[in-house]
Every structure is written in structure tokens, then in C-alpha cells.
Amino acid sequence: MTLTAKAPQTGSIADEPRYDCRNAYVETLADLARADHRIVGVVNDSVGSSKLDAFKKAFPDRLINVGIAEQDMVGVAAGLANGGRIPFVSAASCFLTARALEQIKADVAYSDHNVKLCGMSPGVAYGELGPTHHSIEDLAWLRAIDNLTVVVPADPVETAAAMRWAAATEGPVFIRVSRMGVPVVYREDHEFVPGRAVTLRDGQDVTLISNGTVLWRALAAAEQLAQEGIEARVLSMPTVKPLDVEAVVAAARETGGIVTAEEATRTGGLGGAVAESVVEHHPARMRILGIPEFAPTGSAGFLLDRYGMSPEGIAESAREVLGR
């Protein structure tokens, strides 16, 4: 069992204080920029929504705002990388990934430019604003692109750790940065390792695999299952690509089934990636939880609950997998 899981201070992870990961994002970006002159921010008018006002004040020349122009934003980032800079593109995930998908594919990933794409407020963070502003398809789209690491951090600690790793590592990366409040899941000294799952809770009966804003919900589901005598393994899977296939196969082999839960489409994201590995290496019973449709009006929390990703809903899926 990995030791970097933080023990809840209260009885349940669900009762812990919640944090907006964008704060960890901007603090870490400023730290990185102070230490390395190559770091620059690139935004599409998204200074406020990315919480970059302080960064702009501290580094006025190093926050490049191309205006409301996502294709240009990603192309400009590729050119900045070509000139030796390390651009962190910060834009609402829905516009960054949908509008500039070809630039992400050709200018960043295929061209192997050292660009860090940071999808702010992903998933259904903009709940009530509706599906135009939801970014639930991003994981499926980006996971299909070669030479792009896709990271979905679960809390402020993991967000900061993933950014530090990305800044120190040559190559294209996509990081989702949540705005919906999440409790701290990791210990402060947690080190992000790409492509590695983290076992936050051990168990042999069933496995819950999750990331991002849904991870704490999976942990809370495991707490509930434990009260019924069901020991659930909880795997944090921050890197959707490359996937920790070994951890998935071990879960399929050693436990009675797998439930995946994510703030993304049910097709092609974390659940899809896990299912591919399970089918190929060790077929097992699975449930894939995610957002199956253009969601109706509602807050992010309401929508996650609605699609079976409340702690109770995830626990129920685990029971289904186990046939209980």
C-alpha cells in the first residue's frame, strides 16, 4: 500500500475541507516561473478564469494572452516551445481541447513540442452552463493521440506534483485542473509518477479505480462498503495515458471486479482504458461510471450524483459487480 495517502482528520473523507485545485495550479506555476525563466503562461483571454491575475502582475511579459483564439493559442505555444520556452497553456478545457484539437495533435504531440496543456474547469465543472461548456469528451479525444501524456489530478497536492513533474520533463502533457472543491487525498510529500497508479486503500473484494474530482467519492464509497464487510481496493489513476496496466490487471486478477468512476464520458476515458486492459489481459466483471449524455441543467455535484457517482452510487455499483 502506497504511503502517500493522507489519513482523514475527520471520520470520513467526505467531511474534509474542500479546495479549488486552480489555487494550487497558480501557486505552483508562479514557483516554477521564479525558478526557471523558460516557463511562460499562454491564455485565451482566460486570465481571470485561470486565476492568473497575480501571475500576470509578477511576470507581465511571461503571460501571453492571444485573445479569444484557441487554435492560435496552441500554435503559439508550439512556437514558443520551438524557441526554447516551456509554455503552460491555461484555458477552459472545453475550448482548449475541442477547438484546438488539431493543433494539439499536429503542432504539439506529433511535432513533439514541449508544451504543457492545462485544461481548466474540466468535466461538468461549469454544471449549469450546460454541455457547450462541459468538457467530458476531452479524455477520449486526447487519449487517442500518440505522444501525449494525459493527467487527471485528484487534489491540490497531486495537481502541484503533476505540474512540477511536467515542467521538469521534456514532452507534451495535458493536465486537467479542477475548480470543483475536493478534499486533500494525498500527503504533502506525494511525488507524482506518470503512468503509475497509487493504491490509496487496499482490499481484496472489489476494486474502485478513479481520478480527478471523483476519487474522494470512491474513497468514501470504500468507507461505506467496509461497514458492510466489503473491502474495496481504491486505485488512484491520475495518468489516463499511459495507463498503469499492471495495476489494472492485478486488480482484475486479485479482486472480484472493477468499478471505474470519472467526471468524463463513459466511452473512451479512464473506464474505456481500464476496460481495454481488462479484456486484453484478464477479463473481469466491470462497471464504468461516467457522464453518458449531454447533461441536463445542474451543478457539477448534482450531475455526478445523478450519474451514479455519489459515494452511495459508487458503492451500489460495487455491490452489483459482486452480485450482492
Is residue 316 part of the contact set for other proteins (CB under 8 A)? no
d(CA 195, CA 320) in angstroms, rounded, equals 29
The piece of 50-58, 65-73, 118-126, 261-269 that touches other proteins (CB under 8 A) is 65-73
Select from 112, 202, 246, 293 the one that contacts other proteins (CB under 8 A).
112
Q: Which three cell numbers stand for residue 89?
A: 497553456
Q: Which CB atom, from 15 or from 102, has the smaller least distance to other proteins?
A: 102
| Residue 50, SS3 per DSSP | coil
d(CA 297, CA 188) in angstroms, rounded, equals 36
Q: Which three cell numbers stand for residue 304?
A: 455526478
Select from 84, 146, 170, 323 the one that contacts other proteins (CB under 8 A).
84
Q: Which CB atom, from 85 or from 143, has the smaller least distance to other proteins?
A: 85
234, β-bridge pairs: 201, 208
Q: Which CB atom, from 14 or from 106, has the smaller least distance to other proteins?
A: 106
Is residue 41 part of the contact set for other proteins (CB under 8 A)? no
Is residue 47 part of the contact set for other proteins (CB under 8 A)? no
The piece of 24-32, 62-70, 200-208, 286-294 that touches other proteins (CB under 8 A) is 62-70
Is residue 72 part of the contact set for other proteins (CB under 8 A)? yes
Q: Which CB atom, from 146 or from 189, has the smaller least distance to other proteins?
A: 146
The piece of 19-27, 79-87, 165-173, 207-215 that touches other proteins (CB under 8 A) is 79-87
Measured from the CB of residue 138, what is the shortest distance to other proteins in angstroms?
A: 20
Peptide bond into 242 cis (omega under 30): yes
Per the annotation, the verdict on 280 as an active-site residue is no
**Under 8 Å between Cβ of 205 and 256:** yes
Q: Which three cell numbers stand for residue 178?
A: 479542477
Total binding residues for other proteins by CB under 8 A? 31
Select from 15, 36, 53, 102 the one that contacts other proteins (CB under 8 A).
102
Measured from the CB of residue 265, what is the shortest distance to other proteins in angstroms?
A: 25
d(CA 314, CA 175) in angstroms, rounded, equals 25
Q: Residues near 205 by Cβ (< 8 Å), separated by ≥ 6? A: 225, 230, 231, 232, 255, 256, 322
Measured from the CB of residue 78, what is the shortest distance to other proteins in angstroms?
A: 5
The piece of 60-68, 253-261, 273-281, 290-298 that touches other proteins (CB under 8 A) is 60-68
Select from 4, 50, 107, 152 the one that contacts other proteins (CB under 8 A).
107
Is residue 74 part of the contact set for other proteins (CB under 8 A)? yes
Is residue 61 part of the contact set for other proteins (CB under 8 A)? yes
Helices (H), the chain: 21-35, 53-58, 70-82, 93-99, 101-103, 138-143, 156-168, 215-227, 245-254, 270-281, 300-304, 311-322
**Which one-letter amino acid corresponds to residue 125?**
A
Closest CA to 47 of 108, 1, 89, 2: 89
Q: Which residues are catalytic?
A: 70
